[in-house]
Structure 1
């Protein structure tokens, strides 16, 4: 079998949707997909960040539009995917990156509102995005979905029970969707980032009076990751280079989960 030479723009002619694209990992994914040739629909609850991502894509010669949406609201997610189809006529790949940490505290101190908020965005949001994305992809019989979970979806930590539960759920949901669609031409995979230098991570540590833990002994590589390092894996999973991969959860964590 001869391998086809990979194009410098492997996403040329394709349409990508990125939720949570207004900052951090989502922004890096949107920019990298555009650099690889995709037309990108950037979605976020926060309009300013989403529009800044679109401006960054335009500045580098790419094509993108912004659509504001709350991923925990079914009507808004359905309208978001419909906007993609109205704008571009197809949906080839999606990166579902929208998520929150929620309140970090022991389980006994968490309330029902804490649970509903974290699960509503991190897990229900992925469910709703996949539901409408898959429906849009099925008529063409091709597509790739990448869900951004976390190493907390593979392990856990003190005070992180709700966040960890939501990310474990993303992995389980993704495996089920991958099996549902194993013969439809639609692939579903997961990226599990460790500690990544993003605004959300910086805020998390700043609230505790701490810097990002580059010297944390729990990170064997001795540094936090960059959003672009996660985006590169997401791009790979969206591209034909990963055509025989579905239902996979890939840690991008500096070897945290190898211990």
Structure 2
């Protein structure tokens, strides 16, 4: 049987671990050829190897999504290897350890905003022209519950993730009629390598917020990947500019 993304070409940033690896694998299972992008070249290659070991097709590309020159090089490599780009999943991100304003250095602020928000500007701008030229495509951006409410991160992370939702909506307004369909995923607590140390730190505020989730557990990366798949395929063809909470009920409180 053909998968839901059969014949599609997908680019996933932050593909070396966690949600990015799960999204890459899910896309590949459904028939997409995947470009796994990550700042950690070994992790990106491991994702590509996993996909190919299960019969899929993938390439790995090292990229610093916060650096314009690095993004340009990566985009050129992808477009030289792929016939086109049908799907872009902007997933790369970093945390700020729930740092409030007075504990946030300018260096931390810049790092989080550059990776979590500026990267969408750089990567999408680099790949959007080829998507439009080939008739359109899908952009799936990873935001967070911190894009809706306070308490899902610190001042830098929350600011960046609010920005991701704004970026997604404006991208829709500007390019929806040119065939670009953009939406955002907004996870709550997800059990990944990046969050493991935070959840295991024993910080009272962090642990209390997670314990209060109605679902009673963290999300698994594969559950986030399932939502990414829905937004990437034609089943969601009329979904434009939306921000989907997938948080186990965290934000109902």
TM-score (structure 2 length as normaliser) = 0.94
Q: In the alignment, which of 15, 20, 29 is matched to residue 23 of structure 2?
A: 29
Indicate the residue corresponding to 1:67 in structure 2.
61
Q: Whole-Å Cα distance in 1 between the matches of residues 152 and 173 of structure 2?
A: 32
Deviation readout 1:228-251 (Å, 9 max, x if unpaired):
000010011110111111100001
Q: Whole-Å Cα distance in 2 between the matches of residues 67 and 159 of structure 1?
A: 29
Indicate the residue corresponding to 1:91 in structure 2.
85
Q: Please report how far the alpha carbon of residue 208 of structure 1 lies from its aligned counterpart in structure 2 after TM superposition.
A: 4.3
Q: Whole-Å Cα distance in 1 between the matches of residues 153 and 128 of structure 2?
A: 34
Q: In the alignment, which of 212, 231, 237 is matched to residue 218 of structure 1?
A: 212
Rate the CA distance shift 1:83–1:248 in 2: closer, same or farther, 3 A: same
Q: Please report how far the alpha carbon of residue 161 of structure 1 lies from its aligned counterpart in structure 2 after TM superposition.
A: 1.1
Deviation readout 1:170-202 (Å, 9 max, x if unpaired):
110111001111101111100000101111110
SS at match of 1:146: strand
Structure 2 residue runs without a partner (length 5+): none
Indicate the residue corresponding to 2:145 in structure 1.
151
Q: Whole-Å Cα distance in 1 between the matches of residues 103 and 82 of structure 2?
A: 46
RMSD: 1.8
Q: Please report how far the alpha carbon of residue 104 of structure 1 lies from its aligned counterpart in structure 2 after TM superposition.
A: 2.9
Structure 1 residue runs without a partner (length 5+): 1-6
1:231 aligns with 2:225: yes
Q: Please report how far the alpha carbon of residue 159 of structure 1 lies from its aligned counterpart in structure 2 after TM superposition.
A: 6.3
Decide which structure has greater helix share. 2
Q: Whole-Å Cα distance in 2 between the matches of residues 66 and 129 of structure 1?
A: 16
Rate the CA distance shift 1:226–1:45 in 2: closer, same or farther, 3 A: same
Would you say the 8 A contact 2:11–2:37 is kept in 1?
yes
